[in-house]
Structure 1
């Protein structure tokens, strides 16, 4: 009918297969949504440094598209490319002046805060409120201008009372919150947001609560760290993408440097290191379960699928062989750090340096 159906963009961007084919390679993709389209659509992406800046779409109306037609369309895409890159609007995301100011702030380790405050005051930006920074990354790593813009519009619809902008191809949300992010988790938008990030293969990192614009850059790296740790460690536990809080990975951030530099002895004593070096999976799984479940031995034995007496034997072995007392708070802290080090070594394929 000469105009796309209003649900077409929604369905197209929700189709992971469409996005992966049309925006991650030079292959063509065929799209047809029954009830929305009368004809099949063939799309050829136009790329710039592995970044999709557009696509040529034709409808299969009078006859079927042949391989010769596909070749012609690909040739046309190559001919259009130099014309498109000479026009800057094709290479820029739909960013506002506000986006540029925030990007300058996040790019600069030592920004001129007086100048930044003056610029942001023009946008009636609350300079000193408590905020969380949410970073939305594309797990499929599809460098598509159209997808980034589309996702940004959807996120703005969910977070209509907050600030949303694009930075380094990621969607950033400055979530104003004077109390706790838990407030958002209780809102009706939260379930909608969870479904949204699942449909669009997004990973979300949430920074610690920070105060004022001077903390935005650090908050951004916190959110990226939360995503990085979650994605790496989730490979072990096969969890689905979710909202990842930096608060849950503060210790991981601390331990990572020690693991990467093989300097675990700075934070762990010899008894804990000996336990890790022996790689006794039964004892290590017992310790992990104990840390997760507390002192309820019946619950721990049920969760591990072992007899109560077997659990008591393992706990006694930890005490007699490794001098680790699970009732000692100091030992529990060191054990927690040790388990995190073990998880990081597996998730990042790092050598703990214990041999």
Structure 2
């Protein structure tokens, strides 16, 4: 975090210095000296007059000099080894003005160091990222946004500045960038290459759709982009120091961001971005979706199913998540695979209207599920991309209910748990006595294991006596006689189909209560 010798020479270019540079050293301080040339270091700039410069000067390390020629004595400064030298003529400069200029140059670096130290102090005191952004805004004095890797807005500051930039204002208003801005960054090859390969900040110039330039810097973990910093050039022009500060901020913030749930890993593609927007935003803007889908050639209306892949309880590291993501993508190569909240999701488009009627997985996919201990939740069909959030909640419920199910499967359809969901919603709002039949509860508490097993199978078979008798390997009349005994003793009407449904709901409720 320092000014280089080359940058100082560039700042003083108007004074036409002669530059001798052996190595571009970082410089953090400067001194005016008249004697005592013995204890010099490589990280300071030493200003002196030629008349005071020793005639025989030798050093084993790089030393930086700014020498003012105030006498006509010939002195071949080019012969000095290991020295970076700026040569200025005395009659072309004002010494005091020169020192002021150098102070400005070095103080800029001091500001950067001070800002960095403030950020580090804030992180060490567990300040939130929003407070840290305020610190950096106070230095940059331009509006700032931090988004996740799908460009969904997570933090921002600088709303008090008037910028007259609709694209930027909409970004803050809707938490998501304008589709035309997304189109620019996604199809800007130079931008994409810089974001992917470098951690340094650079300037985006899209003045055909924006009023101001944007300074951006990726935040990386293990060379994967997990966030972006954007600064709008609306209040003051960008400087090299601004770019340095952003580079420092990106590196300092990375460890904090990886633990922030707003910055869960997701791919940086246009498809991932639109899905993240639909799932994260409480009030999606129809015009955003319509325009973005039009730009990306994505259908808004079709037969959709959503698959949600859940991992084991162990935390999935980013590298492992990326490895698994690539595997899943190779299986569902003709579908939309994206990452949301560190879960791999698949938007499956089909001509069928029932997820059980088409083969959404292969043996290879089942092998992957076995190897990584994966559970897959599958939603009901939906026809409008706007409804993907409803489908996502269904996949989560399918995954949750599968954990309390007697049958542990890798593939779990929400439709199989619809009654479970209905019972759960009822249980959290009503007394259990309102859903569990009291006569049936008495039967459960007093009947033998044989009768309990018989009743469960009978209810699972929707009151079909023949099917139940066959599965129990008993005679039809034997089962009919046993059921009549239960009917007489517990007042359970097996001929009423609605009552059978109530018994099925009672079983689900009891299973749910016992498992949770």
Please indicate the TM-score interval, normalised by the length of the shorter structure.
0.5 to 0.7
**Shift, 1:347, TM fit:** 2.2
Aligned with 2:456 (options 282, 288, 293): 288
Aligned 1:132-281 pairs, distance under 5 A: 132-179=305-352, 180-185=354-359, 189-234=361-406, 237=407, 239=408, 241-261=409-429, 263-276=431-444, 278=446, 281=449
Under a length normalisation based on structure 2, what TM-score does the superposition of the two structures give? 0.46
Specify whether residues 342 and 128 from structure 1 end up closer, same or farther in structure 2 by C-alpha distance, changes over 3 A only. Answer: same
Are residue 336 (structure 1) and residue 504 (structure 2) matched? Answer: yes
**Shift, 1:144, TM fit:** 1.0
Are residue 124 (structure 1) and residue 293 (structure 2) matched? Answer: no
Contact in 2 for aligned 1:184/1:190 (Cα 8 Å): no
Contact in 2 for aligned 1:131/1:211 (Cα 8 Å): yes
Larger radius of gyration: 2
**Shift, 1:94, TM fit:** 3.4
Contact in 1 for aligned 2:303/2:350 (Cα 8 Å): yes
In 2: Cα distance, 1:88 partner to 1:277 partner: 53
Any idea what SS the aligned residue of 1:222 has? helix
Aligned with 1:109 (options 282, 295, 305): 282
Are residue 85 (structure 1) and residue 254 (structure 2) matched? Answer: yes
Q: How many corresponding residue pairs?
A: 264
Deviation digits for residues 137-187 of structure 1 (CA, Å, limit 9, x no counterpart): 1024322111211111111111111111000110110000232323532x7
Contact in 2 for aligned 1:252/1:340 (Cα 8 Å): yes
Any idea what SS the aligned residue of 1:141 has? coil
Which residue of structure 2 aligns with residue 314 of structure 1?
A: 482
Specify whether residues 279 and 126 from structure 1 end up closer, same or farther in structure 2 by C-alpha distance, changes over 3 A only. Answer: farther
In 2: Cα distance, 1:300 partner to 1:181 partner: 28
In 2: Cα distance, 1:197 partner to 1:164 partner: 16
Contact in 2 for aligned 1:105/1:217 (Cα 8 Å): yes
Contact in 2 for aligned 1:135/1:173 (Cα 8 Å): yes
Over aligned residue pairs, what C-alpha RMSD do you find? Answer: 3.1
Larger CA deviation: 192-201 vs 262-271: 262-271
**Shift, 1:107, TM fit:** 1.3
Specify whether residues 246 and 330 from structure 1 end up closer, same or farther in structure 2 by C-alpha distance, changes over 3 A only. Answer: same
In 1: Cα distance, 2:410 partner to 2:507 partner: 22
Specify whether residues 296 and 184 from structure 1 end up closer, same or farther in structure 2 by C-alpha distance, changes over 3 A only. Answer: closer
Which residue of structure 1 aligns with residue 28 of structure 2?
A: none
Which residue of structure 2 aligns with residue 45 of structure 1?
A: none
**Shift, 1:295, TM fit:** 5.6
Under a length normalisation based on structure 1, what TM-score does the superposition of the two structures give? 0.65
Specify whether residues 54 and 159 from structure 1 end up closer, same or farther in structure 2 by C-alpha distance, changes over 3 A only. Answer: same
